[in-house]
């Protein structure tokens, strides 16, 4: 029995309740958010030593049917995601405090409560021991983030939020529900396997059904942003920027890819996936998303939209890596959960800071702004490096592993995809910083009075950007978890 | 008689059946309206508490009927007053007794005219419903079955909405039409079984296939209307919409369960061969009901109508589960009967509470109330989630088991599981119409009608006490359904076992005839 697991769940839940109860005392409310986020980080950090010793923490909370239960487990793979979610929550809490107060946004209590509840769901997903528990928290995340997307409560907000909830709950019901039930019928259990190779299906299982189940799982977790079910993501960009930052670069989308890869590795297993030849076709399928989303990003002038499509593209790296079914591929995919998270949250934070200071949303309006906001655009530049995969940024580790993984799998075509995508990444990210620092402001625009965003926003930006470089230089802390997954 | 465990000592079932009747009689002598309400509450609550003692004496390791009481009634026709429960009926009986006090509570201020008569109707209704679930004599069953019609007719016809007369007559005619053939079937069975109306004796008898087909059709008509299965459902939305809140709760939570219970208690055991022939048809009819109910619910702007049509879909899942005839399917179906009773009952209570305030059942008029009634909307959200089988709620467990049963049904026959997959769009639709209503009530649009006066009218203590037990149940079954499954497990297994044996026997008989 290990109670740090339940503590990790109860902290964000308790934070939600604390926030709701202190709605009319903003300072107490924000203090509760910050303290719970820090405590969560400490709790998750406290699990690290035992996980590194190869221990797996487990805790059964409720048993529904034989083989169906609400059970938590912390192993190497869950640590990757739990660590990202909890550390970025801490940073995002401070950032959103600055953002929401600077813009005098309405309904901040609801906002903070939903925020904490979404983290509750994300942590639950990270620590799920079976498909049912994962599905439960996956759906909690879908429902609890609706208020965040619809936050502005205007026509645009409601439309974006409707699309969001229709895509996410619709696919979960349409594909995941039958998949989970059929897996239960075929195997008698929904528990994940104890390693990433064997899977849970008995030998001799009907391969048509398994292939169908696999496809259902791939599309059922639509939070993973695989085309053509990615439309909810750009639509959800109507949310306030801290939401876009934490949820749509980290918590929500990473819940999607985490669930997808968790299912690929611990339900189907690499053995069965190679046997039925499911891996390489998946890699090719998501390659389309990688390239197409990058091309769309290239055409977007709205900075947040560009970032959104970049997210769609980058998420597929993670799935591609795992789908290669080679050790470096899986490691590269899983480590990209971390690398992408820190870099993308930096980029969104920067977009939010630019908006708070100048009310500008378009890339074409940013000419010359860099000299007025050097820290913001410096951070933006560093985070761009991860997206492109330039050393020493963290993204380089991903690209390196993915390339070796593709070589191991003898997939020269995939290598070409990765190279093309790198060029596209550079093409849509570098001009942003270039124009900001080196282009002349448009006629009549003067940035003399423009200053950096408030410190509550600037400090999280700098920290997130710094981390995205540090984990590139010292990748071992996170890589050891990824290595433990592949064994 | 080895399938019975006779009750000695306290006649608990009879007390449960007749205590509400006694309450109705007592009400005849009470003039004051407030006292009428209190008396009704005391009687229903007493029945509820008393019924819980059934659980302590119930032996879940046997499929036999328990707490059985047997008294001669009309000796000339060998009609006996026989009551008893097994693992399936005890759950439905408990559902009935536990729901009724809440029907009284929700009517406390909702019903303003003829309070005494209203409460009398409720209590008579309770007697009849408990009687249906406990009856082991076919005449007793039929009497109780028909006895439900009159008070329900009055509940809709007197205290209902604007189109109450139309709705109540439609309800009455539909259900009456269904039960006429049931009577014929009962009499035929009576003559076949040595002039006995004793239900357990009629089960698993290997009647001739032709006879079974006719019997099955009679059963089917009666029960399919009651469930209601598509296309016999048209009485339901009318009745649901016009009935007062308590009437809707009784209809949705309890009356609809009668049909499904009828299939389990009569159609399967008495006409197994005919059932086996009809299974594919009924399964696909259930699927049609699921999808049809979902689409129609999606198109409604009236909250009560929406829930009424959603019931058609939910009951489709229940008949789907029953006729998969495997343990997951039937256990899931019985559990879902309880779940639907609780969840839909709670939703009707919630809608009644809003109606009491705004005098409108329209979704549009209730847009954006979430901001002003946070307590109300919290309850409503949980019940809505349960209604579309959100994981962690009771609805999910039932739906999970039923769909698992449907998968097993196809796979056991070596078929591709089209059946189970075909039910999935129904689950999607359920999420769609519930979330749509939820979105309107919590958020609405950019500009909502001004409902800010509701700020002063969030739920009061009586209403919170009414809804809280439902919420507890939703989460209890959602996270720990085992106690409920344990109660029914032996009975359901025996049902499936007997069904299989009977099938094998029929095949053997057919074999000898051919040879």
Which conformational region is residue A354 in: left (phi greater than 0), alpha (psi within -120 to 50 degrees), or beta? Answer: alpha
Kindly provide the b/e burial profile for residues B355-379, where b requires at least 16 CB atoms within 10 angstroms of the residue's own CB.
bebbeebebebbbbbbbbbeebbeb
> Over 60: is that where the pLDDT of A290 sits?
yes
Mean pLDDT over residues B156-184, rounded? 87
> Over 80: is that where the pLDDT of A283 sits?
yes
Which string of DSSP letters, residue by residue, matches B279-305? HHHHHHHHHHHHHHHHHHHHT--BHHH
What torsion do the CA atoms of A172, A175, A180, A182 make, to the nearest 10 degrees? 160
Place of tokens 């709205």: A302
Report d(CA B274, CA B214) in Å as an integer: 9
Between the alpha carbon of residue A480 and those of residues A79, A195, A407, A477, the distances in Å are 11, 16, 22, 6
Q: Which of B141, B145, B148 is nearest to B197 (CA)?
A: B141
Phi first, then psi: what are they for B70, rounded to 5°?
-140, 120
Between the alpha carbon of residue A473 and those of residues A77, A392, B347, B470, the distances in Å are 21, 6, 57, 55
Q: Which of A387, A365, A386 is nearest to A439 (CA)?
A: A365
Q: Are A381 and A433 in contact (CB under 8 A)?
A: yes
Q: Which of B310, B256, B318, B316 is nearest to B288 (CA)?
A: B316
Residue count (chain B): 515
Between the alpha carbon of residue B431 and those of residues A393, A394, A431, the distances in Å are 43, 40, 44
Q: Which of A125, A39, A43, A40 is nearest to A78 (CA)?
A: A125
Q: Are B384 and B469 in contact (CB under 8 A)?
A: no
Percent of chain B residues past pLDDT 70, beyond the cut: 99
Mean pLDDT over residues A168-176, rounded? 93
Between the alpha carbon of residue B398 and those of residues A176, B79, B253, B329, B386, the distances in Å are 17, 38, 15, 9, 10
Residue from B290, B391, B477 to probe the interface with A (highest A Cβ count within 10 Å): B391
Between the alpha carbon of residue B271 and those of residues B58, B268, B505, the distances in Å are 28, 6, 13
In terms of average pLDDT, the best of A104-113, A349-358, B396-405, B459-468 is B396-405
- In terms of pLDDT, which residue wins out, B515 or B267? B267
What does pTM read for this prediction? Answer: 0.93
Query: Residue A186's closest chain B neighbor by CA?
Result: B408
Query: Residue A142's closest chain B neighbor by CA?
Result: B390
Query: Each residue of A450-472: pLDDT tens digit?
Result: 888 888 889 999 999 999 899 88
CB-based contact (8 Å) between B403 and chain A? yes
Q: Per the domain annotation, does A80 fall within a domain? A: no
Q: Per the domain annotation, does A212 fall within a domain? A: no
Mean pLDDT, rounded, of chain A = 89
pLDDT confidence band for A360 (50 / 70 / 90)? confident
Q: Per the domain annotation, does A450 fall within a domain? A: yes
In terms of average pLDDT, the best of A243-257, B348-362, B468-482 is B468-482
Query: What does the longest C-alpha to C-alpha distance in chain B come to?
Result: 81
Mean pLDDT, rounded, of chain B = 89
Percent of chain B residues past pLDDT 90, beyond the cut: 46
Range of the domain at A396: 278-487
Residue A94, pLDDT score: 87
Can you read off the two tokens belonging to residue A427? 């093409």
Written in H, E and C, the secondary structure of B53-81 is HHHHHCCCCCCCEEEEEEEEEEHHHCEEE
Q: Per the domain annotation, does A8 fall within a domain? A: no
Query: Each residue of A389-432: pLDDT tens digit?
Result: 888 888 888 999 999 999 998 989 999 999 999 999 999 999 99
Can you read off the two tokens belonging to residue B488? 């029914």
Query: Residue A62's closest chain B neighbor by CA?
Result: B479
pLDDT confidence band for B456 (50 / 70 / 90)? confident
Percent of chain A residues past pLDDT 90, beyond the cut: 50
Non-local (6+) Cβ contacts of B203 within 8 A are B269, B270, B498
Mean pLDDT over residues B137-158, rounded? 90
Residue B36, pLDDT score: 87
- Regarding beta strands A68-74 and B4-6, do their DSSP bridges make them parallel or antiparallel, or are they unpaired? unpaired
Q: Are B331 and B224 in contact (CB under 8 A)?
A: no
Q: Per the domain annotation, does A466 fall within a domain? A: yes
Q: Per the domain annotation, does A317 fall within a domain? A: yes
What is the count of residue pairs from A and B with beta carbons less than 8 Å apart?
74
Residue B507, pLDDT score: 78
Which candidate from B392, B446, B480 shows the least CB-CB separation from A155?
A: B446
Q: Coil, strand or helix: which one is B153?
A: helix
What one-character DSSP code corresponds to residue A61? E
Mean pLDDT over residues B393-402, rounded? 94
Residues of A contacting chain B (CB within 8 angstroms): 61-65, 68, 70, 132, 135-136, 139, 143, 150, 153-155, 158, 162, 165-166, 169-170, 173-174, 177-178, 181-182, 184-185, 209
Q: Do B445 and A181 touch (CB under 8 A)?
A: no
Report d(CA B322, CA B331) in Å as an integer: 8
Residue A214, pLDDT score: 94
Mean pLDDT over residues B51-58, rounded? 89
E strands in A206-334 = none
Run of H or E including A40: helix A26-52
Query: Residue B402's closest chain A neighbor by CA?
Result: A181
Query: Each residue of B422-443: pLDDT tens digit?
Result: 999 999 999 999 999 998 888 8
Percent of chain A residues past pLDDT 70, beyond the cut: 100
Residue A318, pLDDT score: 93
What one-character DSSP code corresponds to residue B107? T
Run of H or E including A229: none
Residue A248, pLDDT score: 75
Residue B455, pLDDT score: 79
Residue A441 distance to chain B (closest CA, Å): 37
> Over 70: is that where the pLDDT of B210 sits?
yes
Residue B389 distance to chain A (closest CA, Å): 10
- The alpha carbon of A149 is separated from its chain's Cα centroid by a whole number of angstroms, namely 16
Q: Are A255 and A121 in contact (CB under 8 A)?
A: yes
Run of H or E including B252: none
pLDDT confidence band for B515 (50 / 70 / 90)? low
- In terms of pLDDT, which residue wins out, B368 or B264? B264
E strands in A88-236 = none
Report d(CA A12, CA A227) in Å as an integer: 32
Query: Each residue of A113-146: pLDDT tens digit?
Result: 888 999 999 999 999 999 999 999 999 999 988 8
Report d(CA A329, CA A338) in Å as an integer: 15
Between the alpha carbon of residue B76 and those of residues B80, B195, B196, the distances in Å are 10, 10, 11
Report d(CA A267, CA A278) in Å as an integer: 13
What one-character DSSP code corresponds to residue B255? I
Q: Which of A382, A373, A410, A357 is nearest to A468 (CA)?
A: A382
Residue A154 distance to chain B (closest CA, Å): 5
Place of tokens 């999910």: B396
Run of H or E including A57: strand A57-65
- Cross-strand partners of A68: A65
Residue A153, pLDDT score: 82
- Cross-strand partners of A267: none
Place of tokens 């009747």: B21
> Over 90: is that where the pLDDT of A1 sits?
no
For chain A, how big is the Rg over CA atoms in Å? Answer: 21
Query: Each residue of B280-324: pLDDT tens digit?
Result: 999 999 999 999 999 999 999 889 899 999 999 999 999 999 999
Q: Per the domain annotation, does A401 fall within a domain? A: yes
Report d(CA A31, CA A29) in Å as an integer: 5
Residue A323 distance to chain B (closest CA, Å): 27
Query: Residue B385's closest chain A neighbor by CA?
Result: A143
Residue B513, pLDDT score: 64
Task: State the complex-level ipTM.
Answer: 0.92
Domain count, chain A: 1
Q: Are A371 and A438 in contact (CB under 8 A)?
A: no
Phi first, then psi: what are they for A103, rounded to 5°?
-90, 0
> Is the torsion defined by CA of B469, B475, B478, B482 positive or negative?
negative
Report d(CA A275, CA A245) in Å as an integer: 39
Q: Per the domain annotation, does A289 fall within a domain? A: yes
Q: Are A176 and A220 in contact (CB under 8 A)?
A: yes
Q: Are A468 and A396 in contact (CB under 8 A)?
A: no
Residue from B381, B427, B431 to probe the interface with A (highest A Cβ count within 10 Å): B431
Place of tokens 């699921």: B290
Non-local (6+) Cβ contacts of A42 within 8 A are none
Query: Each residue of A313-323: pLDDT tens digit?
Result: 999 999 999 99
For chain B, how big is the Rg over CA atoms in Å? Answer: 22
């Amino acid at each position: 029995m290990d109670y740090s697991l339940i503590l990790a769940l109860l902290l964000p839940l308790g934070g939600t309740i604390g926030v709701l109860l202190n709605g009319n005392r903003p300072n107490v409310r924000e203090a509760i958010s910050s303290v719970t986020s820090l405590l969560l980080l400490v709790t998750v950090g406290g699990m690290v030593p035992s996980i590194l010793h190869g221990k797996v923490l487990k805790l059964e909370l409720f048993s529904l049917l034989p083989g169906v239960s609400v059970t938590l487990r912390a192993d190497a793979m869950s640590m990757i995601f739990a660590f990202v979610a909890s550390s970025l929550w801490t940073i995002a809490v401070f950032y959103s405090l600055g953002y929401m107060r600077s813009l005098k946004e309405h309904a901040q209590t609801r906002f903070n409560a939903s925020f904490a509840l979404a983290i509750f769901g994300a942590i639950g997903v990270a620590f799920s021991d079976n498909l049912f528990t994962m599905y439960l928290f996956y759906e909690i995340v879908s429902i609890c983030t609706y208020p965040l997307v619809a936050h502005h409560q205007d026509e645009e907000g409601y439309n974006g939020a409707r699309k969001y909830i229709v895509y996410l709950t619709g696919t979960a019901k349409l594909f995941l529900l039958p998949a989970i039930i059929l897996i239960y019928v075929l195997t008698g259990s929904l528990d994940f396997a104890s390693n990433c190779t064997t899977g849970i299906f008995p030998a001799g299982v009907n391969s048509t059904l398994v292939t169908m189940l696999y496809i259902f799982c791939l599309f059922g977790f639509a939070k993973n942003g695989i085309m053509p079910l990615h439309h909810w993501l750009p639509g959800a960009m109507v949310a306030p920027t801290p939401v876009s930052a934490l949820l749509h670069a980290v918590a929500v989308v990473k819940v999607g890819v985490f669930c997808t890869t968790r299912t690929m590795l611990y339900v189907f297993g690499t053995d069965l996936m190679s046997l039925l030849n499911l891996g390489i076709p998946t890699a090719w399928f998501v390659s389309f998303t990688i390239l197409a989303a990058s091309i769309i990003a290239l055409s977007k002038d709205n900075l947040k939209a560009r970032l959104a499509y970049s997210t769609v593209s980058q998420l597929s790296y993670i799935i591609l890596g795992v789908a290669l079914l080679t050790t470096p591929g899986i490691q590269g995919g899983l480590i990209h959960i971390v690398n992408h998270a820190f870099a993308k949250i930096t980029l969104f934070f920067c977009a939010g800071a630019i908006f708070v200071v100048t009310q500008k949303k378009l890339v074409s309006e940013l000419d010359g702004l860099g000299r007025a906001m050097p820290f913001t655009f410096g951070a933006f530049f560093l985070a761009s490096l991860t997206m492109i995969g330039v050393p020493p940024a963290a993204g380089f580790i991903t690209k390196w592993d993915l390339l070796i993984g593709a070589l191991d799998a003898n997939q020269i075509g995939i290598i070409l995809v990765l190279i093309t995508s790198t060029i596209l990444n550079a093409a849509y990210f570098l001009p942003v910083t270039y124009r900001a620092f080196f282009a002349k402001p448009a006629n009549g625009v003067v940035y003399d009075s423009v200053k950096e965003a408030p410190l509550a926003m600037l400090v999280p930006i700098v920290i997130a950007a710094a981390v995205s470089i540090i984990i590139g230089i010292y990748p071992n802390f996170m890589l050891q978890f990824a290595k433990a997954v592949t064994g | 008689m080895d399938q019975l465990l006779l009750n000695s000592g306290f006649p608990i079932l009879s007390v449960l059946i007749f205590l509400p009747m006694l309450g109705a009689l007592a009400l005849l002598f009470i003039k004051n309206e407030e006292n009428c309400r209190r008396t009704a509450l005391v009687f229903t609550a007493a029945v509820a508490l008393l019924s819980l003692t059934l659980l302590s004496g119930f032996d879940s390791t046997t499929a036999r009927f328990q707490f059985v009481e047997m008294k001669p009634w009309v000796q000339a026709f060998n009609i006996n007053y026989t009551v008893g429960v097994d693992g399936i009926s005890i759950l439905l009986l408990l559902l009935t007794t536990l729901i009724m006090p809440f029907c009284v509570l929700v009517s406390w201020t909702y019903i303003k005219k003829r309070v005494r008569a209203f409460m009398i109707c409720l209590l008579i209704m309770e007697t009849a419903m408990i009687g249906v679930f406990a009856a082991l004599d076919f005449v007793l069953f039929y009497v109780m079955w028909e006895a439900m019609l009159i008070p329900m007719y009055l509940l809709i016809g007197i205290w209902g909405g604007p189109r109450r007369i139309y709705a109540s007559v439609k309800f009455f005619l539909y259900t009456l039409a269904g039960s006429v053939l049931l009577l014929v079937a009962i009499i035929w069975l009576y003559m076949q079984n040595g002039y006995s109306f004793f239900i357990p004796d009629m089960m698993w008898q290997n009647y001739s296939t032709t006879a079974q087909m006719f019997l099955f059709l009679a059963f089917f008509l009666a029960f399919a209307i009651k469930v209601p299965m598509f296309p016999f459902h048209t009485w339901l939305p009318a009745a649901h919409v016009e009935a007062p809140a308590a009437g809707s709760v009784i209809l949705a939570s309890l009356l609809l369960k009668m049909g499904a219970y009828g299939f389990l208690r009569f159609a399967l055991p008495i006409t197994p061969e005919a059932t086996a022939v009809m299974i594919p048809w009924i399964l696909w009819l259930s699927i049609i009901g699921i999808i049809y109910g979902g689409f129609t619910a999606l198109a409604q702007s009236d909250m009560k109508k929406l829930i009424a049509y959603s019931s058609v879909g939910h009951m489709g899942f229940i008949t789907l589960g029953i006729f998969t005839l495997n343990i997951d399917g039937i256990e899931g179906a019985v559990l879902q009967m309880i779940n639907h009773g609780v969840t839909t009952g709670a939703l009707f209570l919630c809608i009644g509470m809003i109606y009491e305030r705004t005098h409108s059942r329209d979704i549009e008029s209730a847009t954006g109330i979430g901001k002003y009634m946070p307590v109300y909307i919290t309850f409503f959200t949980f019940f809505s989630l349960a209604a579309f089988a959100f994981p962690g709620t009771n609805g999910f467990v039932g739906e999970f088991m039923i769909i698992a049963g449907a998968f097993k049904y196809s796979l056991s026959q070596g078929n591709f599981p089209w059946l189970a997959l075909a039910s999935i769009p129904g689950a999607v639709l359920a999420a769609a119409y519930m979330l749509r209503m939820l979105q309107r009530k919590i958020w609405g649009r950019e500009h909502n009608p001004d409902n800010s006066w509701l700020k002063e009218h969030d739920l009061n203590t009586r209403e919170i006490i009414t809804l809280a037990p439902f919420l507890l149940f939703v989460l209890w079954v959602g996270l720990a359904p085992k106690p409920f499954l344990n109660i029914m497990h032996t009975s359901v297994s025996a049902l499936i076992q007997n069904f299989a044996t009977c099938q094998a026997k029929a095949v053997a008989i057919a074999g000898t005839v051919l040879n």
